[in-house]
Structure 1
Amino acid sequence: MIFATACGVVINNQTTSLWQPLKDCRLIKHVMGETCIPKNPNRIVTVSQFTLGNLLVLGLQPIAGASALTDLNGFPSYLEPYTKNVAKLGNQYEPSLEKIALLQPDLILGWEAIRKVYPLLSQISPTAVVTWKGTSSWKEHFQFLAQALGKEEEYQKAWERYFQRIKELKTALNNRYKDKKISVISFGSSYGIISWVKSSFPGSILNDIGLQQPKAQDIILPRGDRIYGISEERLQEVNGDIIFILTLRERDSKKLEQLQNKTLWKTLKAVQQGQVYTVDVLTWLGSNLIAADAVIDDIYRYLVNTP
C-alpha cells in the first residue's frame, strides 16, 4: 500500500480526501479527467520541473517542486535565482507524497509521468495533470497552465518579451550564420548519441531565430523531439558548422573525451573550425521561457561574442 501521512492522517487508495470541496473554483479538463481548482491558489506544489519553470514565468511562486532527474535533488542552475524558497520534493517521477501532504497545498500541478500516484495526490489537494509529449509540447504545456490559472495576460507578456529577445538576437547575428547549420546533440547512457530535432525545445528556439539545423535534424517528429542511437559511424548525420553538446554529468564529459579521440569526430566541420560548444542539458531542455532566456544567452555567448 502506497501512503503518505499528514497531521496523523493516512493517505491511501481507500480513504476520502483531506480537503473539502471548493465553493469558488475553476473547472478544468486535463489528462486524468476534470478538476475544480481554486481561482487564486497561493500554496501550489509542482510535480514537474517544466511546470515549475512555467509557473515562475507566469509570476506564481510554488511552495514546493520536484527536481528533473532521479539522481538530482536540487533544481537546475538557471532556476536557482527563483527557487530559494521552494521546498524540494525529490524527483519528478516519484515525488515524496509525505512531504506534499505535510505542506498542505491548495493545488497540485503535475505531468503525465505521475498518472499512477494521481489518485493519492488528488486526496491531498485538487490536482491537475498536464499533457507532456516531450520537449516538443512545451508551448502547449505553457498555454494550458496559463488558461487553467487565469494568467492569460502574463502569458501574452511573456511571449512578447521572448520574441523581443529573438528580434534583438537576430539583429546581433546580422546574417552571419545565414548559410550555416547548427547541430544539437547529447549523450544517453544506453542510447548512444542523441540528436535533437526541429520539434524539440532547443530546435524550436533555433527555428524562431532563423538558424538552420542539419538535414537529419531539420524535421518535425509527430510525437517526439529526438532521435536515439546515433552511432559513431553515423556522425555525419549530426554534422554541422556549429555543434552544441548538451552535458550534465561527469560521464557525459568522459564520453565526449572518448569521441574526440575518434578519427570520424575529427572530420566534422564544427570540430575542424573550432565551433563545438558544451552547454547545460537541463537548461537546453528546460522547456519554459526562463530556460529559453538562458539558451538565448548561450547563443549570444558562442555565436555573437565569439570571433
Structure 2
Amino acid sequence: MNSRHPRAALVALTLLAATALASCDDGENGSGEPDSSETLLVEHDLGTAEIPADPQRVFVMPSGAIELAISLDLEMVGSPMWGGIEEFPEHISSHLPEEFSTAGTDAEPSFEDIAALEPDLIVGDDRIAEHLERLEGIAPVVGFDREDANGRVDWRFQLSRLAEILELEERANAVLADAEQRVAEVDATIPDNGETIAALRVRPEEVRFYTTTSSLSSGVLQNLEHITLADPDAGDLHEAGLWATFSSENLLDITTDWLYLVPDSPADLEALRSTGVWDRLPAVQAGQVCVAEDLGTWILNGPLATQIIADEVEACLGEAGSAE
C-alpha cells in the first residue's frame, strides 16, 4: 500500500500546477491585478470598443472630464485645455501627473499632439462623436453621454455612466456618496425661508443667467433644498438652454432674493457693479450677493470642484456666513 503514495502525490502536484497555470491564464499576473495585455470588450454610448483592462496612458477629452478620470484613478497622459482659461485650477493640477500634457483646446484639439502621447485609451463625452473616426485611429475610444434622460448636464450622471462602462462602479459610488453628504451638510446650514437664488456668470458686456439644467456650480446650487435655484424668465435664451443673456438694460428683470456671481475677471465684476441699475437689484439692496472665488472651479465641474464650491456656498449662504 505504501508503494501507492508517490503516485498520489504526483497527481496532487499535477493538479496544483494546472490550477496555477489557470490562474495565470485568467488575466491576472499573480498579484491579483489584471495583466497589461488583457483587454475588455465594452459597449459605450458611441459604440463598442476593445480596451485595455488596466489602461496606463489615458487621454481625456474634453477637459471637463478630467475630474471624472481623477476620481476613477485613471492614469492620464493628457487632455485638451478649456478655452476660457490658460491653466487648470489648482484643485485639478495638483492631481495631474508630471508628464501630463495638453493637446490643443476643447474647441480645436490637436490630433497630432494626442497621437504623440501614445495613449492606450481615449475617454470622452459624446461631443467627441464628430472626431470619433480620427480618434479611433490613435487608440481605442470610450464615449459616455453628457446629458441625463432629462437633458441635464451633471457630473454625477457622467461619472456613474463612465464607471459602468469601465467596470469601476465601486469607486464611483464612494465619490458620489461623499458629494451627496457634503451638499446635505451645506443645505442644513441654510435658513429654510423659501428664498431664491440666481447663478450669474459676469462676462465682458453681458451677464449670463444660468438655468437649472446647466453644470455651473457642479450641481451644488441645483441640489440645495433650503434655497431654490431659479431659472431665468427673461433675457435671450441660449440655443442649448443653458443660460439666458442679459445686458445692463434688462438686469432689473433679475428679481431673485440672492445672487451668486461668477465673474470672468475682477474687471468684469467691477464693470457690473458700476452700472446704473446694479444698486437697484433686490438682492443687492438686501445685501444678499455672493461672489465665486475662481471661474475655472465653477465652470470645470466635477467631484473635486463640488467640495470646493460647497465650502464657498456654505460660507456665504449658511447661517454663520450670511449673518456676517
Q: Deviation digits for residues 157-185 of structure 1, max 9, x if unmatched?
A: 11111111122223333xx2532221101
Q: Aligned ranges for residues 263-282 of structure 1 at < 5 Å?
A: 263-279=276-292, 280-282=294-296
Q: Deviations over 1:52-109 (max 9, x none)?
A: 111111222312122211x644212331221253222231222222222222111011
1:23-102 → structure 2 map (5 Å cutoff): 24-31=39-46, 33-69=47-83, 72-85=85-98, 86-102=100-116
Q: TM-score, normalised by structure 1?
A: 0.79
Comparing both chains, which one has the higher relative contact order based on Cα–Cα distances under 8 Å and sequence gaps of 6 or more?
Answer: 1
What is the rounded CA distance, in whole Å, between the counterparts of 1:266 and 1:110 in structure 2? 43
Match of 2:243 in 1: 227
CA root-mean-square deviation: 2.7
Q: For residues 239 and 151 of structure 1, what CA distance do their matches in structure 2 show? A: 44
1:243 alignment partner, one of 235, 238, 259: 259
State the Cα distance separating 1:288 from its structure 2 match.
Answer: 1.4
TM-score, normalised to structure 2, is 0.75
**1:126 offset after TM fit, Å?**
0.2
Distance change in 2, residues 1:227/1:237 (3 Å): farther
Larger radius of gyration: 2
| Post-superposition CA distance 1:95-150 (Å, at most 9, x none) | 22222222211101123443343222211110123333597243332222111111
Tell me by how many angstroms 1:301 deviates.
2.2
Q: 1:182 maps to what in 2?
A: 197
Quote how far apart the aligned CAs of 1:235 are.
Answer: 1.9
Name stretches of at least 5 consecutive residues in structure 2 with no aligned partner.
Answer: 1-36
Aligned to 1:142: 159
Identity among equivalent pairs (%): 22
Q: Which moved more, 1:233-242 or 1:179-188?
A: 233-242
Q: How far 1:186 moved relative to its partner?
A: 1.0
**Where in structure 1 are there 5+ consecutive unaligned residues?**
1-21
Question: Which residue is equivalent to 1:290?
Answer: 304
Q: For 2:268 and 2:186, how far apart are their aligned partners in 1?
A: 32
The answer for the alignment partner of 2:228 in structure 1 is: 212
Q: May I ask how many residue pairs the two structures share in their alignment?
A: 274
CA contact (8 A) 1:135 1:285 kept: no
Match for residue 6 of structure 1?
A: none
Conservation of the 8 A alpha-carbon contact between 2:197 and 2:228: yes
